[in-house]
Amino acid sequence: MSNKKSKLIIGISSRALFNLDESHEIYEKQGLKSYQDYQIENEDNTLAPGEAFNLVEKILKINDLYESSDRVEVILLSRNTSDTGLRIRNSIEDHNLNISRAAFCGGESPHRYVKDFGVHLFLSSSIEDVKLAIESNVAAATIIPRSAENHKESKSDLLKIAFDGDAVIFSDDSEKIYHEKGLEAFIENEANAETNLKEGPFKSFLVELNKIQNDFEINECPIRTALVTARSAPSDKRVIKTLREWGVRIDESLFLGGMSKSQFLDSFDADIFFDDQKKHIMGAIDNTTSGHVPYGIKNE
């Protein structure tokens, strides 16, 4: 399939796209019937943006740069019924988001339709749904909620995406060695390894992003990527060689040698950051929308 014909497809849950905290609380405390009544009564009240709203807005704007406006698609994948989902559909229209396809799954997990829609990245507030999507070999992350005062608008029109390395872009093989035998064994393994790193759950999504990046000159590209990893020399070499072998471009690579990632993500002005370790997510969350990737040794 040529770059011209391929399409980047993002699947998103309603709670990642919109702020449904109030209605979710009603569901938790008063049950399904009260939740349904509440959504139907309020279906003309537009929902406020959720954690991943700005990301979706920026992703959809990429279509403006193409003659045919379907290079990128966002699909709503919701546990709501179509009846309770009407408020979400109305809110999509009110916010002028070009989202036309949807699956309303009536309480069941929408993960089973992720493959059918050809989704490259699935964002949800449900860790169960995210785990099921990863098991289906689709890049997926749990969007972690933040308090309202921590929301800041990005200063850039560029879509900026930051990734951890091991257990996100790459497999967790090296992380297992670190986990089981310590830092020295990890460094020795990396220094002597003659093979490239194996792919992790986000490799295929990164490849799709790269196809869009390759449609533009570097200084005109609407997407900028960063690798933000605890690795440092000499374990950085294997990462560089692996990405080169894959033919994948990462715009910025930060090898932090165990330093906190939070400030660096803020300086990069990331729209979203993906990491397999909760501690890195919780460190970054004050400034950056973050997606937890429940994959690998650290999540067993």
Query: ∠ at Cα 52 (205, 33), nearest 5°?
Result: 115
Q: For residue 259, give Cα distances in angstroms to 14, 228, 250, 255, 287.
A: 34, 10, 20, 9, 17
By C-alpha distance, which of 292, 290, 293 is closest to 266? Answer: 290
Contact 162, 225 (CB under 8 A): yes
Q: In whole angstroms, give the CA distance from residue 253 to residue 227.
A: 5
- Is residue 164 annotated as part of the catalytic site, yes or no? yes
Q: What is the CB-side half-sphere exposure of residue 161 using CA atoms within 13 A?
A: 24
If you search the block for the tokens 């009846």, which residue do you land on? 83
According to DSSP, the residues that pair with 225 across neighbouring strands are: 161
Q: Indicate the length of the chain as a whole number.
A: 300
Question: Which residue of the set 129, 164, 271, 275 is catalytic?
Answer: 164
By C-alpha distance, which of 6, 156, 12 is closest to 66? Answer: 6
* Distance of alpha carbon 284 from the chain centroid: 14
Q: Which residues contact 4 (CB under 8 A, 6 or more apart)?
A: none
Terminus-to-terminus CA distance in the chain, angstroms? 36
According to DSSP, the residues that pair with 235 across neighbouring strands are: none
Q: In whole angstroms, give the CA distance from residue 265 to residue 156.
A: 14
Query: Which residues are identified as catalytic?
Result: 164
